[in-house]
Structure 1
Amino acid sequence: MNDETTEPDTQVEPAPVEQGRGAWRRRGSLRLRLLLASVVSALLVVAAAGVTLVVLFDRHVERRIERELDGHLDQLVSFFRLTSNGKPAVEGELSDPDFRRPYSGLYWQVEENGAAILRSRSLWDFVLAPSPQTGAEPAIRSGIGPNKQHLVTQYRHVVLTDPADPTRTRTFALVVAEDRAETDELLREFTIEAVVFLSALVILLIVAAQFQVSIGLRPLARLRGMVLDIRRGQSSRLDGSFPDEVQPLVEELNGLIGVQQKAIERARARAGDMAHGLKTPLAVIASQIRALEQGHEDEAARVIEGEVMGMSRFVERELARARISAHPVGRGLDLLAAIDRLVRAMQRLPRGDEIEWRVQIPEELQIAVHREDADEIFGNLLDNARKWARKRVTVTARIAGGRVVTTVSDDGPGVPASRREAVLLRGHRLDESVQGSGLGLSIVDDLVASYGGDLSLGDTVGGGLKVELSLPATAAG
């Protein structure tokens, strides 16, 4: 068998672009930064709003209590008298019945010289703490009531002339008090309801922030998709309108892409010129090799043949790389159609019509390979199988891990495992009687490696040679 190869210069495929919602969780994610900033801002604003609402509600309750106490105090002052014999008295009942129900939470008390002289029935046997002496500014203050109630008290000083001694005035402190339990419960309930409402508001704000960030970053996602299309060869520039903040970046990228495309075209032209310039001299040298072989100059012929094979491999490799770099594969190549076309060509070659060609390839399989390179790869494999097969050549293909794995096997003598490495050496031929230059598998190996693929040799069940290679797949259609 007449096949050879050297260590290929593999072309490293670009790293796949991370996709999916998990992308925004990566360290340094712009989406994550914007979302965190929005969430922190929302939490701070809502927390400040919650504290403010609770404080305002508490102040409102305090003012309501103060107004109620003022009203009760006005009524108490209007009922307070000194009898004809100078005895203090409250002539009348205050309107709120709680003043008459023991320990109800609403109380009044009359003091003179710091001592309680009159008090409401609701105080029963309890005496409120003395109010400030005359001269102190009347105000709201706290105190302790019956059953350790927390009271809010209001007092007022009243100066009356003693009817029993008109030359004498007496000063009294009139005090009203109210239990804070009810208002404290209202404040607690309001705080709980405010926390629940504001928590729900925070959740809504987080959802809204995520939606807002997604809308804001949508142009970048669109730009990313367009760049990916360029990398895949499906587009040559970034088209369309973008927001003012993104448009300068788009213009700079288009400029960079243009510069790179021109550089690639120049490199491709140079590689093509070099390759085509070498082909004619190589053909002449090859013809001279055959002449030397016929003249029994075997040693000289082998030396020249080795150099020719090296130059041929170099030419084919550079042509393939030039095609790949200049025009990345866009739409995939239909593998079944390509193999069928090559099989028909093989059938027109010697022994081709005597061999049974079995092609078992799903119709939807497509490979990301240029047609010229696919013809070179599979043409060499099929031609090699044609030369060595006894009756049958089988071609199968399948998808594995996003790649198309193709197998070309024959029922020929095969290659012993101990000699497979030798088969892949440049110019090595197992059988000099079979026509060929020894470049077939070498060229195939180089081309497959250029696309980031792999090539391996093995045995069929019947002992023939099985060549398996993997190439990148593309979506059908």
Structure 2
Amino acid sequence: MQSRSITKRLKSSSLVKRMQSWSLKKRMTVVSSVILVVAFSLIYFIAKSAYTAASKSRLQESLVAQIYALMAVADEQDGQITLPEIMRNDRLNHVNSGLVAYVLEADGDLVWRSRSSDLFSILPDISQDYSLTELTVWRIESYRMFWIGDTIIWEHEDGTESEYLFLIGEKRTLLTAAVREFKREIMYWLFLTAFILIVVLGFALNISLLPLRNAQRQIELISRGDAERVEGEFPAELAPLTSSINRFIESEINQKKRYRDTLGNLAHSLKTPLAVVKSEIHQLGESAKQVELQKQIERIDDIVKYQLNRSVVTAGQTMKRKSLVEPEVKKIVDALNKVHMSKGLEITYEVAEDCYFPGEQGDLMELVGNLADNACKWANKKINIQVKHSNQNLIIAVEDDGTGIPEEKRALILDRGKRLDQQAEGQGLGLSIVMDIIKTYQGQIRILESQLGGAEFELTIPV
């Protein structure tokens, strides 16, 4: 129970919540850095402790050897032991060498001292527990020193025995300096090793993430409409994911095709009954009732067309397509010139080079065709269609030289254009379809004053 509560607290912590939004690279970098810091910290402390212990052991062995060397050169003269004034170990002959030696009687009286000990005015404390097996740390004056000592029983020539304490000490600062130098060395090499490991890990991380980046690029191509499936070889860990993505894409495409086929069949099925009803109404004569029925039938026909178009537009927008704009605009202009030939309209268009619509060809035809058809209804003579890219948006502008739309009515037209049952007069089904398509593509529509003198409908579609 306690481990579960700890796990819950960890999951609910702010750090864990922030980590959930981190990229894989950031997560692996942070985790690797933490592991390196912990591992190198352990290495540092273990190495420092081991070096300190080894240095103390070497120092102890050296001091023990010095003790035995002192005992070896000790001699007796006039019933008192003596040692040479000049020692073989030159450090004992110089002040500030850091190594000192003493020979004391059991009561603490001085028998002999090395020249190097002239720095000190006091004698070592004989109450300390000196031994050959362990370093004793004791301060003499302002210096902390490591001491090794041994007590011997000396048998004099007259048969009497005396107890003497042989002591040798070394300044602690010498060992501390050596340890400090070792710490600097190991820190240098650890930092150098860490830097090399970070570079190697970064290189390995980039190589490991290459398949993910490849999958990401291919998914971006699919979302832009430049590809229809994820291609290439992927590691075993990613293969199920890419296969699932491809199956999902194929399912979306097939579902959209079935949806369109069903809607097409529905539209075809409704045409014949509506045509029969129109024919029967036409035979009723030119009565007010006949006119009203004809109007309602046309309204039903418009509603069916509108809902079918709306369903096709909103079906399966998961995968984008890319449609070249210029050929479709040319088809629309050619068709409108034929339809409105009697009005003698001058329809021109300007499409930027390599201009693509980020979606289905049919949606592009609906957008440009409906706006251009409305412009033809209201234009006196000129209609102009412009398509270009600007700031990662596709801009479609259709303008005419008609009477225009007053500014106070523009918002009303756009608002009412969203609902077929309240269409703005003169805009009809076309504007409602345009509004739905624009909403699907997360675009915007504006009504402006045309440079030709009439109205301009401007569409902005993110690409």
Please, which of 365, 374, 379 is the counterpart of residue 369 of structure 2?
379
Partner-residue secondary structure (3-state), 1:299: helix
Which residue does the alignment assign to 1:245?
237
Which residue does the alignment assign to 1:452?
442
Q: Could you give the per-residue CA deviations for residues 417-442 of structure 1, whole angstroms, max 9, x where no partner exists? A: 455536846486857xxxxx943323
User: Alpha carbons of 1:250 and 1:349: their partners in 2 closer, same or farther (altered >3 Å)?
Assistant: closer
The letter for the 2-side match of 1:344 is D
User: Alpha carbons of 1:47 and 1:252: their partners in 2 closer, same or farther (altered >3 Å)?
Assistant: same
User: Alpha carbons of 1:107 and 1:43: their partners in 2 closer, same or farther (altered >3 Å)?
Assistant: same
Q: Distance in 2 between matches of 1:172 and 1:179?
A: 23
TM-score for the superposition, normalised by structure 2: 0.81
Alignment check: 8 A CA contact 2:402 2:454 kept: yes
Which structure would you say has the larger RCO, counting Cα contacts within 8 Å and 6 or more residues apart? 1
The Cα shift of 1:131 comes to 4.1
Alignment check: 8 A CA contact 2:129 2:136 kept: no
Q: Distance in 2 between matches of 1:273 and 1:365?
A: 33
Which residue does the alignment assign to 2:431?
441
User: Alpha carbons of 1:357 and 1:126: their partners in 2 closer, same or farther (altered >3 Å)?
Assistant: same
The letter for the 2-side match of 1:403 is N
Please, which of 27, 31, 38 is the counterpart of residue 44 of structure 1?
38
The Cα shift of 1:152 comes to 1.6
Q: Distance in 1 between matches of 2:374 and 2:147?
A: 109
User: Alpha carbons of 1:134 and 1:81: their partners in 2 closer, same or farther (altered >3 Å)?
Assistant: farther
Q: Distance in 2 between matches of 1:41 and 1:222?
A: 28
Please, which of 244, 265, 275 is the counterpart of residue 267 of structure 2?
275
Which residue does the alignment assign to 1:185?
177
**More displaced stretch, 291-300 vs 275-284:** 291-300
Which residue does the alignment assign to 1:94?
87
User: Alpha carbons of 1:289 and 1:386: their partners in 2 closer, same or farther (altered >3 Å)?
Assistant: farther
Q: Distance in 2 between matches of 1:209 and 1:97?
A: 53
The Cα shift of 1:411 comes to 0.6
The letter for the 2-side match of 1:122 is S
Partner-residue secondary structure (3-state), 2:434: helix
Q: Distance in 2 between matches of 1:104 and 1:55?
A: 26
The letter for the 2-side match of 1:179 is K
Q: Could you give the per-residue CA deviations for residues 218-268 of structure 1, whole angstroms, max 9, x where no partner exists? A: 333333344444455554544433223333444445555555555444333
The letter for the 2-side match of 1:313 is Y
Which residue does the alignment assign to 1:128?
123
Superposed counterparts of 1:238-317, under 5 Å: 238-285=230-277, 297-317=290-310
The letter for the 2-side match of 1:142 is V
Q: Could you give the per-residue CA deviations for residues 111-135 of structure 1, whole angstroms, max 9, x where no partner exists? A: 1113222212222263432446999
Q: Distance in 2 between matches of 1:446 and 1:392?
A: 27
Identity value in percent:
24
Q: Could you give the per-residue CA deviations for residues 78-114 of structure 1, whole angstroms, max 9, x where no partner exists? A: 221111x302211462123332333442211111113
Partner-residue secondary structure (3-state), 1:128: coil
Q: Distance in 2 between matches of 1:57 and 1:387?
A: 95
Which residue does the alignment assign to 1:221?
213
Aligned residues: 438
The Cα shift of 1:310 comes to 1.2
Q: Distance in 2 between matches of 1:195 and 1:217?
A: 32
The letter for the 1-side match of 2:146 is V
Which residue does the alignment assign to 1:469?
459
Which residue does the alignment assign to 2:330?
340
User: Alpha carbons of 1:393 and 1:207: their partners in 2 closer, same or farther (altered >3 Å)?
Assistant: same
User: Alpha carbons of 1:328 and 1:32: their partners in 2 closer, same or farther (altered >3 Å)?
Assistant: closer
Alignment check: 8 A CA contact 2:249 2:319 kept: no
Which residue does the alignment assign to 1:67?
61
Q: Distance in 2 between matches of 1:97 and 1:136?
A: 24
Alignment check: 8 A CA contact 2:274 2:297 kept: no
The letter for the 2-side match of 1:123 is S
Alignment check: 8 A CA contact 2:222 2:320 kept: no
Alignment check: 8 A CA contact 1:143 1:152 kept: yes
Q: Distance in 1 between matches of 2:448 and 2:282?
A: 32
Please, which of 145, 148, 166 is the counterpart of residue 154 of structure 1?
148
Alignment check: 8 A CA contact 1:138 1:156 kept: no
The letter for the 2-side match of 1:107 is V
The Cα shift of 1:155 comes to 1.8
Q: CA RMSD in A?
A: 3.4
Q: Distance in 2 between matches of 1:343 and 1:266?
A: 31
Q: Distance in 1 between matches of 2:30 and 2:112?
A: 64
Q: Distance in 2 between matches of 1:306 and 1:225?
A: 47
Q: Distance in 2 between matches of 1:265 and 1:144?
A: 94
Structure 1: tracts of 5 or more residues without a match? 1-23, 432-436
Q: Distance in 2 between matches of 1:392 and 1:380?
A: 16
